[in-house]
């Protein structure tokens, strides 16, 4: 490398910093006194960095808002949080309302800088324009919501039709009705798969849109689980898996029936899918103020390194070629559980079966 003198080096570094695609802003801490901002910062913000505003007074002068359109709370600003927590803080819900009227979605990363005595002396913030990312997410969520609704209308009619035909054929004794029952059972099975897939798409669009309201009602949890199992068996009778419910005869409390049913159905569907046809047992119990619902299968199991991953969207512990589906069931169950103040986890070893444990608050 060719050595260059101090002044030339400074100029070179400044020019490189200006060309970075990331806005850089640096200030003394805790005062917030400006010491540097690059050109990209000016381009993103639509104005030069200001040396007349101090820490705790950034929102109005720079037009910093949250995604709901409210001025960004000063104490939640990346600068203040990095100062408070003494560690790097990243936020991606900032919207800059620029003086020219444009709005820019920003991801900001604030990094504290310490001197030799571990005194926090400066904070450097990197600003990245994520407007295109945010717009793409919005398009995706709208698409999911519209697509799932548009898919469900024809599927609903088709399903109802096939089930009605099946209902009729099962009540007839002749040979043709018997063959038709077989054929229609196949149609019904496939329509149900379509229905389940579109259900998942709808769930995803609801989760993404944050529309996941809690609907608590006084009910008998055991009766609800019994119905869920009965309904599920009715839907999956072709699989021939035995489903059993163990625990108290009744358990009264305030629960969100729809969400609980939803979580349990997702877990049952997994247990049957990966359970190698062996019995699946659901157990209900209470521990203090919590209700535990366990779903235990004797199937292929889940390796310890996959325990966290399987609750992520589009993940599964096995090859998608041997087991179909979108890979969303457990993620949806996990989201549902946390939305109602509960949790879900797995205990399992490969080939040792899997036990999924749902914990819910027991409100009375």
Of 206, 259, 273, 316, which one interacts with other proteins (CB under 8 A)?
206
Other beta carbons within 10 angstroms of residue 258's beta carbon come to 14
Q: Give yes or no for a contact between 295 and 280, defined as CB atoms under 8 angstroms apart.
A: yes
Interaction of residue 335 with other proteins, rule CB under 8 A = no
Interaction of residue 265 with other proteins, rule CB under 8 A = no
310: left (phi over 0), alpha (psi -120 to 50) or beta: alpha
Interaction of residue 339 with other proteins, rule CB under 8 A = no
Minimum Å gap between C-beta 281 and other proteins is 23
Of 51, 85, 213, 349, which one interacts with other proteins (CB under 8 A)?
213
Interaction of residue 231 with other proteins, rule CB under 8 A = yes
Q: Give yes or no for a contact between 280 and 311, defined as CB atoms under 8 angstroms apart.
A: no
Please report the DSSP string for 214-271 in residue order: ---EEEEHHHHHHHHHHHHHHHTGGG---EEEES-S--EEEE-HHHHHHHHHHHHHHH
Question: Can you read off the two tokens belonging to residue 281?
Answer: 């047992």
Of 38, 40, 200, 235, which one interacts with other proteins (CB under 8 A)?
235
**Span interacting with other proteins, options 33-41, 48-56, 130-138, 228-236, rule CB under 8 A:** 228-236
Minimum Å gap between C-beta 332 and other proteins is 15
Per-residue x/- track, 160-199, other proteins (CB under 8 A)? xx-xx--xx-----------------------x--x--xx
* Closest to 331 (Cα-Cα) out of 347, 310, 301: 310
Please report the DSSP string for 133-185 in residue order: HHHHHHHHHHHHHHHHHHHHHHHHHHHHHHHHHHHHHHT--SHHHHHHHHHHH
**Span interacting with other proteins, options 227-235, 276-284, 304-312, 321-329, rule CB under 8 A:** 227-235
**Span interacting with other proteins, options 230-238, 300-308, 323-331, 332-340, rule CB under 8 A:** 230-238
In degrees, rounded to 5, the angle at the alpha carbon of residue 159 between the alpha carbons of residues 158 and 160 is 95
Interaction of residue 156 with other proteins, rule CB under 8 A = yes
C-beta of 13 vs 231, nearer to other proteins:
231
Binding residues for other proteins, rule: CB under 8 A, are 145, 148-149, 152-153, 155-157, 159-161, 163-164, 167-168, 192, 195, 198-199, 202, 206, 211, 213, 215, 231, 234-235
């Amino acid at each position: 490398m060719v050595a260059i003198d101090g002044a030339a080096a400074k100029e070179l570094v400044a020019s490189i910093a200006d060309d970075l695609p990331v806005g850089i802003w640096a200030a003394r801490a805790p005062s917030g006194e400006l010491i540097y901002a690059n050109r990209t910062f000016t381009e993103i913000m639509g104005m030069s960095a200001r040396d007349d505003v101090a820490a705790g007074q950034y929102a109005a002068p720079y037009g910093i808002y949250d995604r709901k359109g409210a001025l960004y709370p000063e104490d939640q600003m990346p600068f203040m949080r990095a100062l408070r927590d003494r560690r790097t803080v990243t936020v991606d819900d900032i919207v800059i309302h620029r003086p020219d009227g444009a709005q820019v979605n920003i991801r900001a990363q604030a990094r504290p800088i310490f001197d030799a005595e571990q005194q926090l002396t400066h904070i450097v913030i990197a600003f990245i324009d994520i407007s295109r990312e945010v717009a793409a997410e919005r398009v995706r969520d709208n698409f999911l919501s519209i697509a799932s609704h548009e898919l469900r209308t024809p599927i609903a009619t088709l399903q109802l039709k096939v089930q009605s035909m099946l209902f009729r054929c099962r009540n007839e004794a002749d040979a043709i009705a018997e063959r038709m029952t077989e054929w229609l059972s196949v149609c019904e099975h496939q329509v149900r798969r379509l229905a389940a897939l579109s259900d998942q798409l709808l769930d995803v669009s609801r989760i993404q849109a944050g529309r996941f309201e809690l609907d608590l009602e006084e009910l008998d949890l055991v009766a609800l689980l019994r119905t869920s199992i009965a309904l599920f068996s009715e839907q999956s009778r072709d699989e021939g898996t035995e489903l059993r419910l163990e625990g108290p005869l009744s358990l009264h409390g305030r629960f969100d029936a729809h969400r609980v049913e939803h979580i349990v159905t997702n877990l049952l569907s997994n247990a049957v899918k990966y359970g190698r046809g062996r019995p699946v047992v659901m157990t209900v119990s209470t521990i203090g103020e919590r209700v535990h619902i366990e779903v235990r299968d004797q199937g292929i199991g889940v390796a310890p390194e996959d325990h966290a991953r399987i609750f992520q969207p589009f993940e599964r512990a096995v090859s998608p070629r041997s087991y179909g589906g979108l890979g969303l069931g457990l993620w949806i169950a996990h989201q549902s559980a946390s939305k109602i103040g509960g949790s879900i986890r797995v205990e399992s070893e490969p080939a040792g079966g899997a036990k999924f444990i749902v914990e819910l608050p027991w409100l009375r």
